[in-house]
Chain A
Amino acid sequence: MTKATVATCSLAGCFGCHMSLLDIDEKLLDLLQLVEFDRSPINDIKHISRPVDVGLVEGGVCNAENVHVLQEFRRMCKVLVAVGECANTGGVPSMRNGVSLKRCLEQSFIRGLGIEGAQIPDDPELPLLLNRVRPLHHIVKVDYFLPGCPPSADAFWRFLTELLAGRDPALPRELIRFD
Chain B
Amino acid sequence: MLSRVAAPLETATHPEALRRVVIEPVSRVEGHGKVTLLLDDEGHVRQARLHIAEFRGFETFIQGRPYREVPVLVQRLCGICPVSHHLAAAKAIDVLVGARTLTPTAEKLRRLLHLGQTLQSHALHFFHLASPDLLFGYDSDVASRNIIGVIQAHPTIALQGVKLRKYGQEVIRILSGKRVHGVLAIPGGVNRSLSRDDGESLKKDIDQVVAWSQGAVKTARDLYLADLEKNAAFGSFRSNFVSLIARDGSLELYDGGLRARDHLGHEVFDHLNCDRYLRHIHEEVKSWSYMKFPFIVALGSDEGWYRVGPLARLNNADRIRTPLAESERAVFARLGEGGPVHATMAYHEARMIEMLYAAEAIRELLDDPDCYGSDLVIRGERAFEGVGVVEAPRGTLIHHYEVDETDAIVRANLIVATTNNNNAMNTAVREVAARDLDGRELTEGLLNHIEVAIRAYDPCLSCATHALGAMALDVSLEDASGLLVDRLVRDSDGRVARPGAP
Contact = CB atoms under 8 A, between A and B. Distances in A.
Contacts of A18: 79
B467 to A, nearest CB: 5
Interface in B278-292: 278, 281-290, 292
A128 B475 contact: yes
A113 B278 contact: yes
Interface string A129-153: 1111010011111100000011011
B285 A139 contact: no
Nearest to A136: B480
B301 interface: yes
Contacts of B53: 63, 65, 125-127
B77 interface: yes
A29 B465 CA distance: 34
Interface string A15-44: 111111011011011001000010001111
B465 to A, nearest CB: 6
A88 B23 CA distance: 29
Contact of A32 (B73, B79, B148, B473): B148
Given A43-B28, A125-B36, A116 B284 contact: yes
B479 A139 contact: yes
Contacts of B29: 41
A163 interface: no
Contact of A117 (B163, B284, B475): B284
B471 A124 contact: yes
Given A92-B76, A123-B288, A128 B282 contact: no
A101 B60 CA distance: 10
- Chain A interface: which size bin? 35 or more
Contact of A114 (B82, B281, B478): B281
Interface string B51-71: 101011101110000000000
Contacts of A149: 76, 181
Nearest to A127: B53
Interface string B28-52: 1111101010000000000001010
11 contacts: A16-B181, A32-B151, A45-B142, A63-B53, A107-B57, A112-B59, A122-B470, A125-B49, A125-B288, A129-B55, A137-B479
3 shortest A-B CB distances, which residue pairs?
A16-B79, A104-B57, A141-B480
Interface of A: 10, 12-20, 22-23, 25-26, 28-29, 32, 37, 41-46, 61-65, 67, 91-93, 95-96, 98-99, 101, 103-105, 107-109, 112-132, 134, 137-142, 149-150, 152-153, 179
